[in-house]
Amino acid sequence: MKAKTKKSAAKRFKITKHKILVQKASKNHLLVNKSKRAKRVKTKEAPDSHKTHIKRLLPNG
């Protein structure tokens, strides 16, 4: 049977070739009031301890 993607995980994580990115809170509206640095810092790479679990939730990338 084909492995299904967990849709809740698909909305929270983005998989690139070498990284799993996580977008933190406060980055979807009222961005005009925030500095460039504050907006940039809100997207980070997932910690190594969580990567295997995230990959299991997103089998199709």
Is residue 27 within 8 A of residue 44, CB to CB? The reply is no
| 10-20 residue pLDDT tens | 999 999 998 99
Q: Has residue 61 got a pLDDT over 90?
A: no
> What residue segments make up the domains of the chain, in order of their start?
7-48
Residue 40: which of 30, 27, 59 has the closest Cα?
A: 27
Angle at CA of residue 47, ends 2 and 49, nearest 5°: 65
- The pLDDT score that the predictor gives to residue 33 is 95
- The pLDDT score that the predictor gives to residue 1 is 84
Is residue 43 within 8 A of residue 21, CB to CB? The reply is yes
Rg (CA), the chain: 14
Is the whole-model pTM more than 0.85?
Answer: no
- The pLDDT score that the predictor gives to residue 2 is 86
Q: What is the mean pLDDT of residues 21-44?
A: 92
The most distant pair of C-alpha atoms in the chain lies apart, rounded to whole Å, by 48
